[in-house]
């Protein structure tokens, strides 16, 4: 039979309310009474209900996470899964719990946000997306409720937030392409009012400007969703310009759609770069060059930032910038050495393959699944 708080109270010869106060470490309870209650808990092997104990202390130790409307395709876009993993790991480390809310529309999303706050079951909220003139952040600020956003808010000095430096990340991608001789570089983004989308577009334009390349609006496409179909549609728009040699995108799913369309048209001389380092990018043919935004670390840092501030940690940070990493195609390559005549390590083969015909390597007994990165275009 499950031991209850009443059983503990009876064993310690105190009221159940006294047991609750002991569990919440109330200073109003004498040390002798606390000792008696803890002895009863140990004797009966009582496991206090974490939520009930938190409520007694006026805190639930539960964080609410608001998933945006496009998170319904969670298996195809693992950004959300990885961010959720990061949040869960830090929350677990600090003995917090997480509850998630998901909505199909922004209107329902705001209703759910209000519902979980009014229920008094969450101590703070994490928003996984922020847009220009964001209504969710405005509401949370108006009621002075603790929250963190993943993304750059409009008022970074007044809000807790974590983000990548999306301007620099896209700038670096475009500059890499320019250094390899590309001049007509198309851009495909989605959900234009997201601050993340805006920042990546700024990075694209800044790189062109700094390298004295004219901005060409005819090779820029903004779509409504981060999905493959939008990438295919955007590809057809961009191919109206016959001089285009490379395309950068703000999400791997869009890039997958572009690659699919190029393959259907038998076009193999346009370099493509995605964003997010989706696991499927390594299994494209050829693999997709992409930018790893470290979604796990974004989620982990968001939970850390919120919990530190909820617990009133001195000198708690107000924001974190999570590093990005460019993943080129060569890093996706799989090499298996099958001939002792060529005793090279994998890293040595990477260096050699940039200037070696893979057909020749295979003829010499080395099975190589190698695709040239954008640097070889």
Average pLDDT, the chain: 82
> Percent of the chain beyond pLDDT 70?
81
pLDDT higher than threshold 70 for residue 376: no
Q: Which pLDDT value is given to residue 3?
A: 84
pLDDT, one tens digit per residue, over 332-371 is 443 333 333 344 444 454 444 444 444 434 443 443 433 3
Q: Give the confidence band of 71 by pLDDT, cuts at 50, 70, 90.
A: low
Band of residue 70 on the pLDDT scale cut at 50, 70, 90: low
Which of the residue ranges 50-54, 80-84, 218-222, 243-247 would you say has the lowest mean pLDDT? 50-54
Tokens in use for 320?
Answer: 């974190």
Q: What is the pLDDT of residue 352?
A: 47
pLDDT on residue 72: 62
SS (H, E, C) the chain: CCCCHHHHHHHHCCCHHHHHHHHCCCCCCCHHHHHHHHHHHHHHCCCCCHHHHHHHCCCCCEEEEEECHHHHHCCCCCHHHHHHHHHHHHHHHCCCEEEEEECCCHHHHHHHHHHHHHCCCCCEEEECCCECCCHHHHHHHHCCCCEEEECCCCCCCCCEEEECCHHHHHHHHHHHHHHCCCCCEEEEEECCCEHHHHHHHHHHHHHHHHCCCCCCHHHEEEECCCCHHHHHHHHHHHCCCCCCCEEEECCHHHHHHHHHHHHHCCCCCCEEECCCCCHHHHHCCCCCEEEECCHHHHHHHHHHHHHHHHCCCCCCCCEEECCCEEECHHHHCEEECCCCCCCCCHHHHHHHHCCCCHHHHHHCCCEEECCCCHHHC
The mean pLDDT value for 157-181 works out to 95
Whole-number pLDDT of residue 131: 84
pLDDT at 112: 85
> What's the mean pLDDT in 317-334?
77
The mean pLDDT of 296-321, rounded to a whole number, is 90
Tell me the two tokens of residue 304. Answer: 């850390």
The predicted pLDDT at position 52 comes to 56
Category of 139 on φ-ψ map: left (φ > 0), alpha (ψ -120 to 50) or beta = alpha
pLDDT at 49: 65
97-102 and 124-127: which strand pairing?
unpaired
* For residue 286, cis peptide bond before it (omega within 30 degrees of 0): yes
The C-alpha atoms of residue 253 and residue 157 are separated, in whole angstroms, by: 32
Between 373 and 208, the higher pLDDT residue:
208
Are the C-beta atoms of 127 and 281 separated by less than 8 Å? no
Q: Which domains does the chain carry?
A: 5-56 (1.10.260.40), 62-164+296-323 (3.40.50.2300), 166-291 (3.40.50.2300), 330-376 (no CATH)
pLDDT recorded at residue 266: 93
> What average pLDDT does this structure show over 18-42?
84
Residues in the chain, total: 377
Q: Which two tokens mark 72? A: 């319904």
Question: What is the structure's pLDDT at 207?
Answer: 97
């Amino acid at each position: 039979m499950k031991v209850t708080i009443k059983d503990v109270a009876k064993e310690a010869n105190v009221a159940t309310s006294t047991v609750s106060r002991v569990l919440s470490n109330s200073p109003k309870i004498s040390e002798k009474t606390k000792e008696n209650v803890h002895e009863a808990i140990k004797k009966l092997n009582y496991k206090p209900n974490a939520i009930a104990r938190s409520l007694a202390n006026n805190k639930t130790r539960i964080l609410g996470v608001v998933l945006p409307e496009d998170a319904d395709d969670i298996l195809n876009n693992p950004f959300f899964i990885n961010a959720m993993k990061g949040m869960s790991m830090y929350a677990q480390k600090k003995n917090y719990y997480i509850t998630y809310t998901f909505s199909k529309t922004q209107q329902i999303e705001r209703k759910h946000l209000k519902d979980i706050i009014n229920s008094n079951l969450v101590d703070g909220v994490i928003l996984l997306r922020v847009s220009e003139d964001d209504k969710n952040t405005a509401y949370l600020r108006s009621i002075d409720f603790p929250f963190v956003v993943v993304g750059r808010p409009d008022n970074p000095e007044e809000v807790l937030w974590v983000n990548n430096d999306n301007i620099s990340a896209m700038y670096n991608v475009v500059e890499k392409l320019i250094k390899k001789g590309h001049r007509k570089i198309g851009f495909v983004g989605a959900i234009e009012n997201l601050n993340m989308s805006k920042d990546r577009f700024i990075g694209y334009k800044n790189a062109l400007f700094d390298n004295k390349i004219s901005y060409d609006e005819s090779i820029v496409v903004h779509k409504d969703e981060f999905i493959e179909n939008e990438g295919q549609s955007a590809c057809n728009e961009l191919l109206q310009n016959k001089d285009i040699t490379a395309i950068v995108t703000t999400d791997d799913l869009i890039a997958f759609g572009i690659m699919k369309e190029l393959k259907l048209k038998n076009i193999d001389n346009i370099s493509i770069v995605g964003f997010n380092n989706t696991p499927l990018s390594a299994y494209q043919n050829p693999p997709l060059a992409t930018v790893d935004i470290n979604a796990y670390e974004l989620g982990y840092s968001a939970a850390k930032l919120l919990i530190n501030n909820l617990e009133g940690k001195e000198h708690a940070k107000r924001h974190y910038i999570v590093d990005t990493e460019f993943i080129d195609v060569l890093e996706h390559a799989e090499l298996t050495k099958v001939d002792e005549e060529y005793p090279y390590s994998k890293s040595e083969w990477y260096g050699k393959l940039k200037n070696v015909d893979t057909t020749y390597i295979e003829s010499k007994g080395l099975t190589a699944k190698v695709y040239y990165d954008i640097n070889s275009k």
